[in-house]
């Protein structure tokens, strides 16, 4: 007769252990799902940043404020952006925030920054601010064409695009 309470106690213990195990399994599964979702979102964020670099380059190449159509940059337009006092705040309304672009025409042996006084004997333009140590960055180089208005010629150039977070 003394066996009955002990048997009952051990069955309850088994029962509670089983419940604890099931609850732990469910919580583990939920944590896994949450971790999986967060990982997916982080991966998507990285992909979005990569996509944004390409989109930024495509948009600038096709914007008549910088280019003449058919993805050809115009050196006089590129030089005039800074000369007109258009800074990163204004450009962020069109292209968003946290990016940096520079374009180097490969028709001169050295890099010469283009400004009002240096035009047309220059081959380097930059837009927005280069960040030394951002939290993360995605960057690409694209081969592009720059139309040299003064000489009526086309130059090969490299467009460097960076996007930060």
Per CB under 8 A, residues contacting another protein are: 4-5, 8-9, 11-12, 15-16, 19, 22-23, 26, 30, 33, 37, 41, 48, 51, 55, 58-59, 62, 64-65, 68-70, 72, 74, 76-77, 79-81, 83-86, 89-90, 92-97, 116, 119-120, 147, 149-154
| Closest residue by Cα to residue 59 from 156, 67, 99 | 67
| Closest residue by Cα to residue 93 from 68, 113, 65, 134 | 65
The C-alpha atoms of residue 23 and residue 143 are separated, in whole angstroms, by 57
Smallest distance from another protein to CB 91, Å: 8
84 by DSSP, 3-state: which?
coil
Task: Please identify, using beta-carbon distances, which residue of 12 and 139 lies nearer to another protein.
Answer: 12
The C-alpha atoms of residue 54 and residue 90 are separated, in whole angstroms, by 21
Smallest distance from another protein to CB 132, Å: 23
Backbone angles phi, psi at 124, to 5 degrees: -140, 125
β-bridge pairing 124-127 and 99-105: antiparallel
Task: Please identify, using beta-carbon distances, which residue of 4 and 132 lies nearer to another protein.
Answer: 4
Smallest distance from another protein to CB 130, Å: 20
Smallest distance from another protein to CB 129, Å: 16
């Amino acid at each position: 007769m003394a066996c009955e309470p002990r048997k009952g106690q051990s069955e309850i213990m088994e029962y509670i252990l089983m419940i604890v195990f099931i609850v732990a399994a469910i919580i583990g599964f939920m944590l896994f799902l949450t971790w999986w979702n967060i990982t997916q979102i982080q991966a998507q964020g990285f992909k979005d940043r990569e996509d944004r670099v390409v989109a930024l380059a495509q948009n600038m190449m096709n914007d008549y404020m910088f280019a003449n159509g058919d993805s050809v940059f115009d050196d006089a337009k590129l030089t005039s952006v800074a000369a007109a006092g258009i800074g990163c705040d204004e450009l962020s309304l069109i292209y968003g925030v946290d990016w940096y672009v520079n374009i180097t025409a490969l028709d001169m042996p050295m890099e010469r920054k283009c400004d009002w006084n240096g035009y047309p004997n220059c081959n380097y333009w930059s837009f927005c601010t280069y960040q030394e140590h951002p939290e993360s960055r995605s960057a690409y180089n694209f081969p592009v064409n720059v139309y040299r208005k003064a000489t009526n010629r086309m130059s090969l150039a490299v467009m460097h695009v960076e996007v930060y977070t």
